[in-house]
Amino acid sequence: MARKTNTPRWVSITRKLYNYLGNTGFFIEYFAGNISDHTMVRILLIYNFGGFIIQTIADAYFKPDKLDNLPAEPKGIKS
């Protein structure tokens, strides 16, 4: 299956690792209860900001559909 974006593979891998490892670490700390709620909120804000940056880089490489590839409308059909 061909990739549908121009996103470099390293950005895709970084995004997935960031999500999987970050969420796993968050849940481990949350259920272990080793840190305060205030510290957890700060960690989540920093984590979400990092995810926003990675997603922005990934979306900047998005390849939109070309208008030339759209099928022509059939003739004789009135809408």
pLDDT of residue 78: 65
- 5-25 mean pLDDT: 80
For residue 5, is pLDDT > 80?
no
Q: Give the list of residues 6+ apart from residue 54 with CB closer than 8 angstroms, or none.
A: 11, 14, 15, 18
**Whether the predicted model's global pTM rises above the 0.85 cut:** no
Mean pLDDT of the chain: 76
Q: Give the list of residues 6+ apart from residue 7 with CB closer than 8 angstroms, or none.
A: 58, 61, 62
Instruction: Report yes or no: 7 and 61 within 8 Å, Cβ to Cβ.
Output: yes
For residue 11, is pLDDT > 80?
no
> In the chain, what percentage of residues exceed pLDDT 70?
67
Nearest 10 degrees: Cα torsion 5, 8, 10, 13: 0
Instruction: Report yes or no: 14 and 50 within 8 Å, Cβ to Cβ.
Output: no
